[in-house]
Structure 1
Amino acid sequence: MSTENSVQGSSHLASPQVLRKVDELREKNVGQHVPLPQLVVVGDQSSGKSSLLENLTKIPFPRNVELCTRYATQITSRRDSKTEVVVNIIPGPHASDDHRRRLEGYCPEGLSPADFRDQFPKILNEVNIRMGIRTDTSSTDGTVFSEDILKIEISGSNEDYLTLIDVPGIFRTPTEGVTTKADVSLVQKMVRTYIKDSRTVILAVLPSNVDPATQEILDLAQDFDSDGERTLGVLTKPDLVTEYSAQVAVCNVILGKRKPLKLGYHVVRNRGADNDDDFDFDSSEHETFKTEPWSSLSKDRVGVKALKTRLGVILGLITRREFPKLRSDIRNQLTDCRRQLGDLGQARQSEQEQRLFLNRLSQQFQNLVHSALNGHYSNHHAFDKSDQLRLITRVVNITESFGSDFAESSLPTQFEKLLPKISDDGEESDFGEFLRDSLLNGLITDMDVEHPQDGIMDWIEDLYQRPCGIDLGTWGGAILASAFKEQSSKWGRLTLGYLSQVICSIHKFLKAALESLCTDPRLRDDLWSFIADDILKGYRAAIRHAIFLLSIERDKRPYTLKHYFNENLQKSLGNRIADMLEDNVKKELQWVNDVRSVTASKSNLDSVKEDIHDILHSYYNVARKRFVDSVYHQAVDHYLLTGPGSPLFMFDQEWVIKLEPEQLQAIAGESPVVSEKSQFLQRKIRDLGSAMHI
C-alpha cells in the first residue's frame, strides 16, 4: 500500500502517546545522537514559509520581505496539563567555547504560551543578539546566518502534538553588502542536513503563482527522497493567482496531474505581511476556497486546519513505522558507546583516580605474570591469543636446548670419546626483531659457536711442552688450570647466548602483557618508558651474575668435592687399559703379562698426556654440569624470573605507590582528547539509557 493511501486510511496513527514518546526522546537530547521522526519546512526565500509556520503554531514569525529566518528553529507543541514555554539555544557544531557558554546561558523563565506569543518579537531579538546575528542589514557587525538552533517547546491543555523545524529559505544570488556566496552555500548545506534522514518528512513550501516544475526545492528533496514517500508539497499564496486558468493549473498540481508526489500537495492561504492582528484570517481563507475552481478540491487538501491534521497523521505514520528501527539504533549505539568507554578505561583525572587505575593495572599485570610463571594458561584469555605470553614454556625449552648444546658443543677440542653433532633448536630466529630494540642493544649475544675439533692429544702435548708446563718430567695443577680454561673458552658465548634468548622471551612477554591489558597506546608507551630503566637493570644484573659464575669456574684452580669425580677418573683409567688389552688378550692366563707389557712400553710423554686428558675430562664433566645448573638457578631463575629484582616484578603495586604526583600525571593522566571523549560518551550513554527506558 502506498504512503498516500496509508495516510488517508490511518488517522488513528496520529496517536498522542506515540508522538509524546518522540517528544520525550527530544527532551533527553536523543535527537543529537539518533535521527527522530520530524517535519522540516523548506522552501525558497519569500515562498511563504514564515507565514505558514505562524498559521500552524500561532507564533507570530516576522513576515516582512527582508531576510526572516537566519537559523534553524525547532518548534515542539504538546498537549499537557502543565502550561509552560521553554526557550533555549543549541550551539552549532563549530561553536567556540565562549560562544557555547553565551548561548547555553539563555533560558527565559516563567513564560506561558500566551505571554510567549506576545513577547516573541522581543525574544527573537534577544536570540539574534546572543547568536551574533546581524539585525541591521546595513551593518557589517555579526553574521547573517548561524548554525545554532533556536528550540521552542510549548506545552498546554489547548496545544496539539506537533514538531516542526524551520530552516532558512534557499536563495541563489548574494545581495551586495548583506549576503555572500558563503552564505548561499551555508544555507544549502543546512537544508540538505535536515532533509537527508529517512525519518524526516519534507514540507516543500511552494508559492502557487510559480510553476512547481521549476522549483529547485523539489529537485533537492528528490536527491534524498527519490521515491517521494516523505515529501509533501505545500502551495501558498493562492490569493495571488488571479486568472481562472492559472487557478485550474494549481488545482491540477494538487490533484496529482502535474509533478506528482506520493504524499501529494496541500494548498493554504497565509496571513500576508500587510495583514494586522485584527485581520480575520480564518474567514478569509474559508471564502477563498469556497469559490471555483478551489471548491472542487477535496476538503482534506485545502486550508490550514486540514493541513495540521494531515501533518499529525503523517508524523504518526512515520513514527510508528520507524519505532522498531529507532529502538534498534538506540540499543546498538548504547552498546557501542559502552564499549568505547570501556576501551578508554576508568576515569583518571584526579591523583586518586590515577593511582587507583595504575594499581588495578599492576595487579592485573602481576596476576598474568604469576600465571605465566606457573604455566596456568587457562587463567586468562590472553594466553590463547599470544604464544609470547606462555613464558615458562619458552624458558624451559630454551634451557633444555642450552643444556644439550652445552654438553655437545662447549668444547673447542673434543675429548677422545667423540660426541654427537649439535642440534638446531631454532630459537635464534627470534633475535632479529630484538636486536633492533634500543633497550636490548648491547645485551643480546648470538650463541653460534664452532663445532669441537679433533686432536685432543696433540693439543695436550703442545700445552705440556710450553715452558710454563715443564716441571722435570712431571706436571702440576697449573697445567690443569690452563687446560681447563682453554677447554672452557666457549662457555662465555654459549652462556650469554642462552641469557639473550631468555631475556628476549621475557622482553616479548612484558610487551605482550602490557598490550593485552592496556589498549591505550599512549598510556602503554608512557608506562613502558617509566619502567624501561628498571627492566634494563634486571637484565644487566642477570648478565653480570652469569659473568661472575664464569669467572668462578674458569679463573679459579680446578677443584671439586663431588665424589663422582674420582669415580669417573678411575673409570677412565680402566676403560683406557681395557682398550689397550682388547686386541692383545689371547688366552685367559696371558692377561697379566699383557698388562705389564702395555704399561711398560708407554713413554713418559704418553703417560702424562693420558693423565692430563683423563683428569681434565673427568673434571670438565663435573664443572660443566655444575655451571649449567648454576646459570639456570641463579642468573635465570633468581635474577630474571622469580627473584625480587626480576624484570617481571618491576611493575607492581609497590612501584605505583612510590610514584610522585607529577609522575602519576605523566603516566596515567588523561589527555585532553581522551577526557573530552570520555565526557561525551558518558553524556551520550545517559541520553541513550533514558531513551531505552522511554
Structure 2
Amino acid sequence: MLRNIHLTLNIGLLPRLFFKKPRWSRIERPLERLWRPRVAKADGRQAQKTLAAHFPAFFHTNILTMAPFNIQSQDYRDLLDIIDNLRSQGLDRYVALPEIIVCGDQSSGKSSVLEAISGLSFPTKDNLCTRFATELILRRHPVASVAVSIKPHHDRSAGEKERLQAFSADVDPNDPDVGPVIEAAKAAMGLVDGGGDGGASGADNRRFSNDVLRIELSGPQQQHLTLVDLPGLFQAGNAEQSADEAPLVRRLVLDYMTRPRSIILAVVSAAYDFANQAPDKLDEGSDSERAFVKMARNRDVHLQLGWHVLRNRDHTMRAASSAERDAKEAAFFTAPGSAWRTVEPAHLGIGPLRPKLSTVLMDHILSQLPAILADVDALLAECRLGLARLGSPRATAGEQRQYLSRISSQFSTLVTAAVNGSYTDAAFFGNVEPRSEEREHTAGVEEEEDDDVAENPNTQDNKQDHTGYRRRLRAVVQNRLTRFAKDMHNRGQTRKIVCDSTSDERIEHSNGKRIRRDDYVDEVKTAIAMSRGRELPGTFNPLVVGDLFRDQCKNWGRLADECTESVLQSCFAAVAATLRHITVQDTAEKILQSRINPAMTTLKKDMADATDRLLAANITGHPVTYNHYLTETVQKVQNDRLRASLSNVLCSYSRDDGMTIPHSTIETLLDKLLRATEPDMQRVAASNAIDYMEAYYKVALKSFIDNVSVLVVEQCLLSKLPGLFPPDTIYAIADDDIRHLAGENPDATAERARLVEKKTCLEACENELRRLDKHRVPAADEAEDGTSTTD
C-alpha cells in the first residue's frame, strides 16, 4: 500500500505547469485560486562572473560555463549565511530573496518530508502542527548544534519585538525534537489552542502568527540548505483550528508564494489520487499507483524540475531512527518487481533530494544576486529621496524657515535648469524614451497642407505623458511653439485662395475655407468699388489691403490663445512636479496654493495682455512694413502669373518640325498676346490688391509667430518661472505662514521614522552584497577580452 508515499516537486522556475491539469482538490485548488506567479529574471552569467573570484571553489573550469561545484564547500556555506543574514536583518521585507518554501495541505506529509531532509523530529499528528512560518537553516559542521530564535513581524510593537528576539530554547543536538520548541514558540507569540468551526480568531484569540521561528541545525551529515516551512492549507475546522482561520493561513502562504524569487517545494500525498480516494484503496499494482509512477517520471504533469518521490514512516516505524527510515525507503523503491524501479533513481528517496535542493537553491542565488543588488540600490535611492523631501525634524519656526529656504533654493535651481534645457539632474529629469506617437509629435516633420485635416489635428498638448518629458520644460515649450508655427501656416488664414483649376468637390468639402482666385477677385472687385476714393482706374485704395488682411487673420487670436494656454499649463505642471520632487506632498500643495497659484494667475494675465497688444498692432490701423520681401513677393507672383498666361498662348503656336514660322503668323501671335491682357481695369486693381495682401500676410505672419514666442512666452512666462518662489523672500514671511507651509504633521514624522528604518536596513545589507560584488569589474573585463578563468 502507498499511503506513506509523498511526491514533492519544485515549481518555482516554471510554476504554471503545476496547474496545467487540476487534479488535486486538497492542494492544487487552493494554490490555483490564490497564486498568480511572478518570476523574476536575472543575468545568471553576470552573477557567475561576479562570484567567481570570491568563491573559487564553485568553479572548477570556465566560469562562464557554470562547471560543477562543491555544494558542501565553505564558500557555499558563506554565501547561504550571507543570504540568511540579509533575511534576518529584515531585507526580505523590502526585497524578495531567493528561498525554498515548503507548502502543502495539512496531513500531506510535509512535516515528514522536512524531518527526512533535516533529521529534526517534527510533530506529525493529523491536527494542526505549525501556526507560523519556520525557517530551517541546515549547515554542515563537525560539531552538532541547534540554535532557536524568533524573528518578530515588523508590525509588532517595540516591546514585543524585544521580547520575541530574546526567545530561545534548549534542544538536544543528538536527538533534536522541535515539538516542544514549537509549543514554546506558540506561547511566546501569544497563540492559543482550541477552536472549532465556530471559534473566533480575533486579536486576543490568535492561532496563527506572521512571526518566523528560526531553527539553525548544524551537524556532520547536514547539507548546506535553507528551507522555509509554511503552515498547511486546510478547509474545515476542528478542535484545534477554526474554519474562519483558513483564509488567514492562505494569505500567509500566498505572501510567500507571490514573492518573485521564491522556489516552491510543494508536497503532495499519494493518498489523494485523481478521484480523491481513501488511502486504504490505494493498493500496490493498482491503476492509481501506475498513475503516480507515470507522474513521477514527469510524463503526465510535466515540470521543469520534475517530481521527486519519498516514502515516509508509517505508524509502525514512528520510533525508527533517520537511518532506519532511509534504509526502509531505499528497500521499498528497489524491491524486485516494484513499479518504482522504472523511475530514475535521482528522483527517488531522500538521498538524492538533499543535494538536489542545495543545487537548485545555489543556482537560483547565483542568478539572482545582481538583480538583488540592483533592487537594493534602487530602494536606497528612493529612501534617500524620500528623506530629502521630508527634511530634518522641524518643530520651531526657525527650523521650518530653514527648511523652506532649502526648498526654495532647490526649486529655483531645478526650474532654471528646466527652462534652460539643462537636464543633467537625472534623478529629476530622468531618461525619456518616448513612444512612437510621441516621436511623431515631437519631431513635427509632417507638413499638413490639407486644411480638412489640419483643422482637426489629433494632437494634444499632453500627448507625451512621460513624467521625464513633462519635466523637461524647454523641450515641451519648443515642441509646442513649433506646432504653433505649423498651425499658423496651415490654419491661420480665414480662407485659402486656391488656383482656378481646383475641383468643385474640393471647394465644397472645405466648408467655405477655400475659394478660387477668380471668385475672390470678384469679391475684392466689389470691395474696391465700395471703397473708391480719388484713385485712377486700374488702381485701388491702399486701405483695401488692410481690410483684406484683417479678414484673413481672424484665426490668429484663437490659435495664439490655444498656444499660450497650453504652454502655461505645461509650465504649471513642471513647477508642481518640481515641488513634489523636492518636498513632501502636504508641503508642496500648500506652497502651490498660497504662493505659486497666485503668481501663475498674474503671469497668465501678463501673457494675455501681451498677446492682445500683438493682435491689436496687426488688426488695427493700416499695414506697415519696410521689408523688401513684400515687393519682391508681389513682383514674383505677378511675373509667375504672366509667365503662365503667355506660356498657354505660345504652346498653341509651337512647332516641332524645326520650320520657320511665317511673318504673318508672328503678327497673328502678337495680336493674341495683346488680346490676353485684361481689359477690365477693376479686375486688374482687385488682382493687384490681392497680391499685395498675400505678400503682406506672409511678412506679418512670420513676425507674429516670432513675437508670440519671444514677447509673450519667453518674456512674460518662462523668464519669470525661477522667481516664483525665491529664497530671498523666505525670511520676510510671517511666522504663522511659515508654520502653515512647513509645519510637520504626524504622518510626516511617522514616514520619516519608517524611511530611516528602511534605509538603515538597506545600507547594512548593501554592504554585505557589495562584498560579494567586489570582484565584478575584473571578471567582466576578462569576459569582454574573450579570456576565461580556471581554477
Q: TM tier, shorter chain? A: 0.5 to 0.7
Counterpart for residue 313 of structure 2:
235
Counterpart for residue 530 of structure 2:
462
Which amino acid is 1:350 matched to? Answer: L
Which amino acid is 1:639 matched to? Answer: V
Higher relative contact order (CA 8 A, sep 6+): 2
Counterpart for residue 253 of structure 1:
332
Which amino acid is 1:548 matched to? Answer: R
Does the CA-based 8 Å contact 1:38-1:165 persist in structure 2?
yes
Select which of 386, 392, 416 maps to 2:439.
Answer: 386
How far did residue 327 of structure 1 move?
1.5
* SS of corresponding position for 2:712: helix
Change (3 A) 1:380 1:649: farther
How far did residue 87 of structure 1 move?
0.9
How far did residue 533 of structure 1 move?
7.5
Query: How far apart, CA to CA, are the structure 2 residues paired with 1:560 and 1:192?
Result: 78
How far did residue 637 of structure 1 move?
1.7
Does the CA-based 8 Å contact 2:195-2:240 persist in structure 1?
yes
Counterpart for residue 315 of structure 1:
354
Query: How far apart, CA to CA, are the structure 1 residues paired with 2:488 and 2:233?
Result: 81
Counterpart for residue 70 of structure 1:
131
Query: 1:496-515 deviations in whole A, cap 9, x for unaligned?
Result: 14525644774797699899
Counterpart for residue 441 of structure 1:
none
TM-score by length of 1: 0.53
| Alignment pair present for 1:153 and 2:211 | no
Query: How far apart, CA to CA, are the structure 2 residues paired with 1:100 and 1:422?
Result: 88
* SS of corresponding position for 2:134: strand
* SS of corresponding position for 2:237: coil
Query: 1:583-638 deviations in whole A, cap 9, x for unaligned?
Result: xxxxxxxxxxxxxxxxxxxxxxx99x99x999999997998688556534544321
Query: How far apart, CA to CA, are the structure 1 residues paired with 2:598 and 2:513?
Result: 29
How far did residue 88 of structure 1 move?
1.6
Does the CA-based 8 Å contact 1:13-1:320 persist in structure 2?
yes
Does the CA-based 8 Å contact 1:89-1:106 persist in structure 2?
yes
* SS of corresponding position for 1:87: strand
Change (3 A) 1:364 1:171: same
Identity %: 12
| Alignment pair present for 1:638 and 2:696 | no
| Alignment pair present for 1:36 and 2:99 | yes
Does the CA-based 8 Å contact 2:142-2:219 persist in structure 1?
yes
Corresponding pairs, count: 536
Does the CA-based 8 Å contact 1:389-1:512 persist in structure 2?
no
Does the CA-based 8 Å contact 2:590-2:741 persist in structure 1?
no
How far did residue 134 of structure 1 move?
0.9
Counterpart for residue 181 of structure 1:
243
Counterpart for residue 366 of structure 1:
419
Does the CA-based 8 Å contact 1:43-1:204 persist in structure 2?
no
Alignment of 1:20-35 (within 5 A): 20-29=78-87, 33-35=96-98
Does the CA-based 8 Å contact 1:337-1:684 persist in structure 2?
yes
Query: How far apart, CA to CA, are the structure 2 residues paired with 1:76 and 1:663?
Result: 52
| Alignment pair present for 1:652 and 2:722 | yes
How far did residue 689 of structure 1 move?
7.0
Q: Computing the radius of gyration over CA atoms, which structure comes out larger, 1 or 2? A: 1
* SS of corresponding position for 1:346: helix
Query: How far apart, CA to CA, are the structure 1 residues paired with 2:575 and 2:281?
Result: 65
Does the CA-based 8 Å contact 1:337-1:681 persist in structure 2?
no
Does the CA-based 8 Å contact 1:43-1:49 persist in structure 2?
no
Query: How far apart, CA to CA, are the structure 1 residues paired with 2:163 and 2:600?
Result: 53
Does the CA-based 8 Å contact 2:416-2:722 persist in structure 1?
yes
Does the CA-based 8 Å contact 1:87-1:150 persist in structure 2?
yes
* SS of corresponding position for 2:385: coil
Query: How far apart, CA to CA, are the structure 2 residues paired with 1:621 and 1:165?
Result: 82
Select which of 334, 346, 357 maps to 2:385.
Answer: 346
Does the CA-based 8 Å contact 1:134-1:144 persist in structure 2?
yes
Counterpart for residue 88 of structure 1:
150
Change (3 A) 1:252 1:638: same
How far did residue 22 of structure 1 move?
1.8
Counterpart for residue 690 of structure 1:
768
Query: How far apart, CA to CA, are the structure 2 residues paired with 1:463 and 1:11?
Result: 101
How far did residue 463 of structure 1 move?
3.8
Change (3 A) 1:205 1:240: farther
Query: How far apart, CA to CA, are the structure 2 residues paired with 1:50 and 1:314?
Result: 10
The alignment's C-alpha RMSD in Å is: 7.1
Counterpart for residue 134 of structure 1:
192
How far did residue 124 of structure 1 move?
5.2
Query: 1:652-676 deviations in whole A, cap 9, x for unaligned?
Result: 375475797867899xx99999998
* SS of corresponding position for 1:235: coil
Does the CA-based 8 Å contact 2:191-2:205 persist in structure 1?
yes
Unaligned runs of 5+ in 2: 1-7, 9-67, 272-278, 321-326, 392-402, 425-430, 444-476, 503-510, 640-679, 731-737, 773-791
Query: How far apart, CA to CA, are the structure 2 residues paired with 1:149 and 1:630?
Result: 74
* SS of corresponding position for 1:330: helix
Query: How far apart, CA to CA, are the structure 1 residues paired with 2:499 and 2:389?
Result: 63
Does the CA-based 8 Å contact 1:83-1:157 persist in structure 2?
no
Query: How far apart, CA to CA, are the structure 1 residues paired with 2:378 and 2:542?
Result: 67
Query: How far apart, CA to CA, are the structure 1 residues paired with 2:71 and 2:625?
Result: 100
| Alignment pair present for 1:102 and 2:165 | no
Select which of 295, 301, 324 maps to 2:363.
Answer: 324
Unaligned runs of 5+ in 1: 4-9, 243-247, 267-306, 372-378, 413-417, 424-445, 576-605
Which amino acid is 1:638 matched to? Answer: L
* SS of corresponding position for 1:493: coil
* SS of corresponding position for 1:75: strand
Which amino acid is 1:253 matched to? Answer: F
Query: How far apart, CA to CA, are the structure 1 residues paired with 2:124 and 2:156?
Result: 32
Which amino acid is 1:690 matched to? Answer: E
| Alignment pair present for 1:545 and 2:601 | no
* SS of corresponding position for 1:76: strand
Counterpart for residue 493 of structure 1:
554
Change (3 A) 1:36 1:360: farther
TM-score by length of 2: 0.47
How far did residue 639 of structure 1 move?
1.0
Query: 1:463-507 deviations in whole A, cap 9, x for unaligned?
Result: 45xxxx8xxx999xxx97976764454265143145256447747
Query: How far apart, CA to CA, are the structure 2 residues paired with 1:168 and 1:561?
Result: 88
Query: How far apart, CA to CA, are the structure 1 residues paired with 2:423 and 2:329?
Result: 83
Does the CA-based 8 Å contact 2:132-2:209 persist in structure 1?
yes
Does the CA-based 8 Å contact 1:542-1:639 persist in structure 2?
yes
Which amino acid is 2:419 matched to? Answer: Q
Which amino acid is 1:233 matched to? Answer: R
Query: How far apart, CA to CA, are the structure 2 residues paired with 1:614 and 1:201?
Result: 90
Change (3 A) 1:389 1:19: same
Query: How far apart, CA to CA, are the structure 2 residues paired with 1:630 and 1:73?
Result: 77
Does the CA-based 8 Å contact 1:363-1:653 persist in structure 2?
no
Query: How far apart, CA to CA, are the structure 2 residues paired with 1:51 and 1:397?
Result: 69
Query: How far apart, CA to CA, are the structure 2 residues paired with 1:214 and 1:182?
Result: 36
Which amino acid is 2:76 matched to? Answer: V
Query: 1:53-73 deviations in whole A, cap 9, x for unaligned?
Result: 99934x8x7799975533332
* SS of corresponding position for 2:313: strand
